[in-house]
Amino acid sequence: MKQTIIGPFKTNTTIILASGSPRRRELLNDLGLNFEVHPSEAEEPAPLIGEEPTAYALRMAEMKTIEVSKSYKGKVILGADTIVVLNEDIMGKPENEADALEKLSALSGKTHQVISAYCLILPSGEIVSHAVTTDVDMRISSKAELKGYIATGEPIDKAGAYAIQGIGTFLVTAIRGSYTNVVGLPVARVLDTLLQNNIIEAREG
């Protein structure tokens, strides 16, 4: 599936996005980039014993990107992984509504970190990867509010059981760092990496 829109940048070579996330597609679309979507089918293993959250996010992003790159030799592949971290503990996607309530209750009134790691595989096969962290402050929400949010269905497939760009925006009082990083892709940092490697360039008029 190709995505094309007029925006402030243009691609010098097609990018393969190794993610099925509609949020990541929207972020790249807004930049005007030409890309194709090929979601990774790699399994997401649990963190290794003693593995730091940032290292885990980087490992997942690289694993997904490398898996897709096997089908696109000599192409530019971009993959990413986003995790929610509370007190150094990684909070994955909820298994069910009860788990979503447990996760949201734990986040309520606290500050947590969202780490998005991305991996870029260049046509030469070189791998470039980085991770960005954003601090997120959550309001104190009642159990009734959280149950009402869970009833919308939005939290079920989201890391940490909420979406800052969706209905879950009411849960957040402040962020320190990249907003798009919380959405799922640190756009400014990814943009710099793509520009530095001549994958994209500014569209002049």
Reading the chain (205 residues) residue by residue, the pLDDT tens digits are 444 457 899 999 989 999 999 999 999 999 999 999 999 999 889 899 999 999 999 999 999 999 999 999 999 999 999 999 999 999 989 999 999 999 999 999 999 999 999 999 999 999 999 999 999 999 999 999 999 999 999 999 999 999 999 999 999 999 999 999 999 999 999 999 999 999 999 988 6
d(CA 192, CA 182): 18
d(CA 163, CA 159): 8
Select from 1.10.340.30, 3.90.950.10, 3.40.50.12780, 3.40.50.2300 the CATH code of 2-202.
3.90.950.10
The structure tokens listed for 183 are 């959405």
Q: 192 catalytic, yes or no?
A: no
DSSP 14: P
197 in Cβ contact with 128 (< 8 Å): yes
- So where are the chain's domains? 2-202
- Return the beta strands (E) in 92-199 as ranges: 111-121, 127-138, 172-176
- From the candidates 81, 89, 157, 192, which is the catalytic residue? 81
